Amino acid sequence: MSEKRNSPFLVGLIALVVVVLAVAAGWRLINGDRSLLRHVEVEKSVITPNADGEDDATPIAYEISRNAAVSIYFENEAGDRFYFRQEKPRGTGNYSVLFSGVVDGYRLPGETVEGEILSRLLQNGAYTWTIEATDEDGVTETAVGQLTIADADTELPEMRNFTVYPDVFTPNRDGIADRVRPQFYLTKEAASVRVFLELADGREAPISELERDIPANMPGRHYYDYEGGVDNGATPPPDGTYPLIAIAEDAEGQKIRVESSLTIQYGGVPRADIFSPPSGDTLEFSATAVPICDTLYFTVTVQNYGATPIRTTGPEPGVVYDSDWNYNTLGWHTESGAWRVAIGYENEITNYPYRWAVGSLDDLEKIGDYYYLMPGERAVVSGGIRIVNVFGDRNPQPVWAGLIHEDVEIAQFNTHVDPHAIQVDIPDEAHMPECEPREIPRKGE
């Protein structure tokens, strides 16, 4: 009897449960699952991140039902936490990412590594992974699981002894500190190495490797070369102090960043010419005909119309050459990057044998141990050539001016400037004078 009495009650209870479940299922069908973090999956439980192409990484997938900040991190058995993603904003949707064992940079106890470790492999061992999502209302949901790291190639691509020389750099093609040479010792083969100057607006000015016996990205000492782009006619970065940075990344994705600083001074593309006045000769000579043993004088004006100083070297304006001398005779040999006014002629044996500084000491400014014509300045340059021989086979002889940027260039508009036909008055052989010997005005005397 009692079983019969209880039967309607049990039937009703079961019916009520079925209704509740049906309502819940209908609510979920209509309104969706209200959980924030769904369908979390870390496909593999063991990975071997050593770039051998087998089990180097595992896919991680999850779904977010509403806007949230998502973190993915790993904890070792000692409780140390390593972040793969930290509080990254995510909108509603499905997400997947490939995890290769690389997390945000960290250091091991007692470890000495030059520079900053940007990213690094987890060490071999067992880890608890956590995916954590926090929505805009502060609701947090997590999923956890286990992952083992094995056979990881954890050697870092270190760049040891990172140096920059010189650390004050004047990219203006004056032959003094025109280039900078960053260098370092790479301890491990890298997938990529970038060396660059970080500009004020965050852009990078890349610096090329000066490849020698060690191939690029291979272990060994590496040298880089930077001239601010001036060699290609580009304007270098504005004067100032900049971070000079190198970043190496290995095949596993580990990254090391080292940094020094580089100061740019007097940077710019040098620009100067022989000024052509509105009237009169650009190159003024004292005569159009000169007897043997007399001196031919000249005058030109040099202007620096660029934004950087131009370096010069002697002899000073006013020096008089004998026609059978040249600048080497006086001890003023070619100096790479120096500018000089010069006089040349058609039958010269050496190119532009007579050379002078682009200004007197009163016109120039001393920077360090060198003299410069500053931007926007002009200087009048005069000198002379005593004619002690026939001055070439032609007579009259075409004679012209030039402005030489030594070992760099003679710009087209600075060569063969304003030629003049100069006649040398040569008597017959019986009356040829013998010019009075004079002391050579040598450099430093």
State whether 66 and 100 are in the same domain. yes
End-to-end CA gap in the chain = 138
What is the domain-level CATH number for residue 112?
2.60.40.2550
In a domain, 145, yes or no: yes
Q: 0.75 exceeded by the pTM?
A: yes
In a domain, 3, yes or no: no
State whether 369 and 281 are in the same domain. yes
Task: Report the pLDDT value the prediction gives residue 104, as an integer from 0 to 100.
Answer: 98
The structure tokens listed for 124 are: 């071999």
- Name the domain count of the chain: 3
Q: In angstroms, rounded to a whole number, what is the distance separating the alpha carbons of residues 8 and 14? A: 10
State whether 256 and 345 are in the same domain. no
- Which domain range does residue 373 map to? 272-431
81 pLDDT higher than 80: yes
Per-residue model confidence as pLDDT tens digits over 363-384:
999 999 999 999 999 999 999 9
DSSP β-bridge partners for residue 60: 42, 97
Distances from the Cα of 207 to the Cα of 136, 183, 204, 233, 418, angstroms: 44, 11, 9, 16, 42
| Spatial contact of 210 and 239, defined as CB atoms under 8 Å apart | no
State whether 254 and 333 are in the same domain. no
**Which residue, of 93, 115, 149, is where some domain finishes?**
149
The share of the chain scoring above pLDDT 90, in percent, equals 85
The SS3 call for residue 117 is strand
Estimate to the nearest angstrom the gap between the alpha carbon of 327 and the chain centroid: 37
In a domain, 437, yes or no: no
State whether 95 and 179 are in the same domain. no
State whether 416 and 283 are in the same domain. yes
Peptide bond preceding 49 in cis form (omega within 30 of 0)? no
In a domain, 342, yes or no: yes
Q: In angstroms, rounded to a whole number, what is the distance separating the alpha carbons of residues 359 and 373? A: 7
Peptide bond preceding 236 in cis form (omega within 30 of 0)? no
State whether 317 and 412 are in the same domain. yes
What is the domain-level CATH number for residue 232?
2.60.40.10
In a domain, 11, yes or no: no
**In a 10 Å sphere around its CB, with 0-12 CB exposed, 13-18 middle and 19+ buried, how is residue 338 labelled?**
buried
Q: Does 309 or 391 have the greater pLDDT score?
A: 309
Q: Can you tell me the mean pLDDT for 97-120?
A: 96
State whether 117 and 184 are in the same domain. no
Q: In angstroms, rounded to a whole number, what is the distance separating the alpha carbons of residues 177 and 168? A: 8
In a domain, 445, yes or no: no
When pLDDT is cut at 50, 70 and 90, the band that residue 445 belongs to is confident
Task: Report the pLDDT value the prediction gives residue 232, as an integer from 0 to 100.
Answer: 85
State whether 171 and 299 are in the same domain. no
10 pLDDT higher than 80: no
**Which residue, of 125, 149, 173, is where some domain finishes?**
149
| Spatial contact of 422 and 351, defined as CB atoms under 8 Å apart | no
State whether 287 and 219 are in the same domain. no
State whether 142 and 66 are in the same domain. yes
Q: Can you tell me the mean pLDDT for 142-166?
A: 97
**Which residue, of 235, 264, 293, is where some domain finishes?**
264
In a domain, 26, yes or no: no
Per-residue model confidence as pLDDT tens digits over 235-262:
999 999 999 999 999 999 999 999 999 9
| Spatial contact of 259 and 115, defined as CB atoms under 8 Å apart | yes
- Residue with tokens 């017959």, as numbered in its chain: 428
Question: Following CA atoms 78, 83, 87, 90 in sequence, which dihedral angle do they give, to the nearest 10 degrees?
Answer: -130
Query: Which amino acid belongs to residue 242?
Result: Y
When pLDDT is cut at 50, 70 and 90, the band that residue 233 belongs to is confident
State whether 197 and 296 are in the same domain. no
